[in-house]
């Protein structure tokens, strides 16, 4: 998966989570005001969580 596609998936799922008041995507920073970074395993688990929510809503 390309970086652009992954970023679009994260942004789309963040909007879904915000609207439905679900947990936020886990982000980390080395210091206050620093760049955000994501851990692949945490993001994958979060994306699966959002996808499960979306599938339950469509059934």
Is pLDDT above 70 for 58?
no
| Per-residue confidence (pLDDT) for residue 33, from 0 to 100 | 87
Q: Which domain holds residue 24?
A: 3-58
* Among the listed residues 34, 11, 14, 31, the one whose alpha carbon sits nearest the alpha carbon of residue 22: 14
Tens-digit pLDDT profile for residues 2-56: 889 999 999 999 999 999 999 999 999 999 888 999 999 999 999 999 999 988 8
Strands (E), the chain: 28-29, 36-37
Tokens of 58: 């469509």
Phi (first) and psi of residue 13, to 5 degrees = -70, -30
pTM, rounded to two decimals: 0.81
Q: Specify the number of domains making up the chain.
A: 1
Residue 26 per-residue DSSP state: P
Three-class secondary structure of residue 47 per DSSP: helix
pLDDT-derived band at 1, boundaries 50, 70, 90: confident
């Amino acid at each position: 998966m390309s970086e652009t596609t992954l970023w679009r998936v994260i942004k789309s799922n963040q909007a879904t989570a915000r609207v439905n008041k679900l947990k936020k995507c886990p982000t980390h920073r080395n210091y206050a005001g620093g760049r955000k970074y994501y851990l692949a395993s945490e993001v994958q688990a979060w994306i699966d969580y959002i996808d499960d929510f979306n599938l339950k809503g469509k059934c």
